[in-house]
A and B are shown apart, each in its own frame.
Chain A
């Protein structure tokens, strides 16, 4: 058994949030450069130029990449051989509050009916899981509203199969058009239950763009979806072009024999995710 003090987790979470909000991951920057070179249209090229300049500007000034610093979503994998001294949930939440405060990040969490801002971005959305080992892995994602609003969950019938899945995903991206700040990354959750599918979809977005699914069959499905989506020609910011989507990530889980749950989580180009292992 390894003992971890909850208080030690707080600054690590805060630092991770500040860093992720300012620094676009390297693989995303690389993808922007590659896509900029591949585009024919001057407008599409110009958008990538601006996104790269925005990333430089954020790093130089410490301003967040996007004013929508998101709701803070966490996937916390707790090793079964870890004892936490204090409350893990409180530690993650306190780290989040500190990170948003000290990083001058926008607090976007509000009451769904009165719309009154909670003032500190609480509550954090935390998904806990238990895994073998004596470590805690805390993965953070800043989820902005514009792209999240374009996300959907549905219950297909098993007969609809892969063709039905593909149609639903591509249709969602077509309908979303310029709204979710394309080029996007699309997370797809297939299977599980009504509530598990969207968690799978979101979790898949923690993978890096160049991180292929370990199962080559699923990796091939990801490529198939990416190709179909990019044929829509929506392009960066909806101005037309080859790059509507940077990558598709799929996670699957067994489901009921009567069901085929499916979730599509749309992630904008401002892909702010990071993780820390304690």
Chain B
């Protein structure tokens, strides 16, 4: 298990060596989007409209932060469950998105898209919202303000810690449940 420090935007050369289990510290700009924002991104793409941020080399963080208290750039900001974005992710990877950050399993279609477009799926520690907010130094809403916690935000991050869960060569970190030991088989 290697350790990397990566700066956004990501290139194929950044992503290709990453393997499931590697620890990565991200510095730079990442974009937040979850269910409702993804749906609107798809509509913009369908209509041929410009997107609120540059997809090429981007990292999309699946998060709906809690409101920022006075004096802080953002509230708690841990990952949300990723599978709800599975229907949208392959299309975004085809358009240049290099990584997503979330928690939980991805579909086979997403894993195939990671291979095809040299992209990765990062996991951040679910529920560690207070801890992760420490690595976010600035945040501003750049689209879909009306969606509240689901609006697209541009986050400036410093050494944001993630694990490679699915890499670009088919590797996966999650444990396969031992059904036999648990008496299911």
Seen from chain A, the residues whose Cβ lies within 8 Å of a Cβ on chain B are: 43, 47, 50-51, 53-55, 57-58, 61-69, 104-108, 115, 117, 119, 144-146, 149, 166-167, 170-171, 173-174, 177-181, 228-229, 231-235, 237-241, 268-270
**Is the beta-carbon distance between A228 and B182 smaller than 8 angstroms?**
yes
Q: Across the interface, which residues of B come within 8 angstroms of A145, CB to CB?
A: 80-81
Q: Across the interface, which residues of B come within 8 angstroms of A105, CB to CB?
A: 66-67
**Is the beta-carbon distance between A229 and B182 smaller than 8 angstroms?**
yes
Looking at B11-19, B46-54, B110-118, B172-180, the stretch in contact with chain A turns out to be B172-180
A54-B131, A146-B80 in contact; A106/B175 too (CB < 8 A)? no
Seen from chain B, the residues whose Cβ lies within 8 Å of a Cβ on chain A are: 21, 35-36, 63-69, 72, 75-78, 80-81, 83, 103-105, 123, 125-131, 133-134, 147-150, 163, 173-175, 177-179, 181-184
Give Cα A179 to B126, complex, Å: 9
**Is the beta-carbon distance between B104 and A238 smaller than 8 angstroms?**
yes
**Is the beta-carbon distance between B103 and A63 smaller than 8 angstroms?**
no
**Is the beta-carbon distance between B105 and A51 smaller than 8 angstroms?**
no
Look across to chain B and name the residue whose beta carbon is closest to the beta carbon of A119: B148
Closest 3 CB pairs of A and B: A240-B175, A179-B104, A181-B126
Look across to chain A and name the residue whose beta carbon is closest to the beta carbon of B174: A238
Q: Across the interface, which residues of B come within 8 angstroms of A233, CB to CB?
A: 175, 177-178, 181
**Is the beta-carbon distance between B103 and A106 smaller than 8 angstroms?**
no
**Neighbour of B64 across the interface among A51, A106, A235, A240, CB < 8 A:** A106
**Is the beta-carbon distance between A231 and B131 smaller than 8 angstroms?**
no
Distance between A160 CB and nearest chain B CB, rounded to angstroms: 14
**Is the beta-carbon distance between B177 and A66 smaller than 8 angstroms?**
no
Look across to chain B and name the residue whose beta carbon is closest to the beta carbon of A64: B76
**Is the beta-carbon distance between A177 and B130 smaller than 8 angstroms?**
no
Q: Across the interface, which residues of A come within 8 angstroms of B75, CB to CB?
A: 63-64, 67, 104, 106
Q: Given known contacts A62-B69, A237-B125, what 9 new A-B pairs fall within 8 Å (CB)?
A: A61-B72, A63-B76, A66-B128, A104-B67, A145-B80, A145-B81, A166-B183, A239-B174, A241-B175
**Is the beta-carbon distance between B184 and A63 smaller than 8 angstroms?**
no
Q: Give me 20 A-to-B residue pairs in the complex whose CB atoms sit less than 8 angstroms apart, sorted by A's number.
A: A51-B125, A54-B125, A54-B128, A54-B130, A54-B131, A58-B76, A58-B130, A63-B75, A65-B127, A66-B129, A68-B78, A104-B67, A106-B75, A107-B148, A144-B127, A146-B81, A177-B174, A181-B103, A237-B123, A239-B175
**Is the beta-carbon distance between A63 and B130 smaller than 8 angstroms?**
yes
Give Cα A178 to B172, complex, Å: 12
Q: Across the interface, which residues of A come within 8 angstroms of B64, CB to CB?
A: 67-68, 106, 108
**Is the beta-carbon distance between A51 and B130 smaller than 8 angstroms?**
no
**Is the beta-carbon distance between A170 and B81 smaller than 8 angstroms?**
no
Q: Across the interface, which residues of A come within 8 angstroms of B123, CB to CB?
A: 178, 237
**Is the beta-carbon distance between A54 and B183 smaller than 8 angstroms?**
no
Q: Find the residue from A177, A228, A237, A270 having the highest chain B CB count within 10 A.
A: A237
A67-B65, A106-B65, A146-B81 in contact; A270/B127 too (CB < 8 A)? yes
Q: Across the interface, which residues of A come within 8 angstroms of B65, CB to CB?
A: 67, 106
Give Cα A69 to B83, complex, Å: 20
Give Cα A57 to B135, complex, Å: 12
Give Cα A82 to B125, complex, Å: 45
Look across to chain B and name the residue whose beta carbon is closest to the beta carbon of A167: B184
**Is the beta-carbon distance between A174 and B104 smaller than 8 angstroms?**
no
**Is the beta-carbon distance between A57 and B81 smaller than 8 angstroms?**
no
Q: Across the interface, which residues of B come within 8 angstroms of A167, CB to CB?
A: 183-184
**Is the beta-carbon distance between A146 and B130 smaller than 8 angstroms?**
no
**Is the beta-carbon distance between B177 and A174 smaller than 8 angstroms?**
yes
**Is the beta-carbon distance between B183 and A231 smaller than 8 angstroms?**
yes
**Is the beta-carbon distance between A234 and B69 smaller than 8 angstroms?**
no
Give Cα A51 to B129, complex, Å: 10
Give Cα A171 to B69, complex, Å: 41
A51-B128, A68-B64, A179-B81 in contact; A115/B184 too (CB < 8 A)? no
**Is the beta-carbon distance between A66 and B78 smaller than 8 angstroms?**
yes
Q: Across the interface, which residues of B come within 8 angstroms of A179, CB to CB?
A: 81, 83, 103-105
Distance between B21 CB and nearest chain A CB, rounded to angstroms: 8
Distance between A151 CB and nearest chain B CB, rounded to angstroms: 13
Look across to chain B and name the residue whose beta carbon is closest to the beta carbon of A144: B127
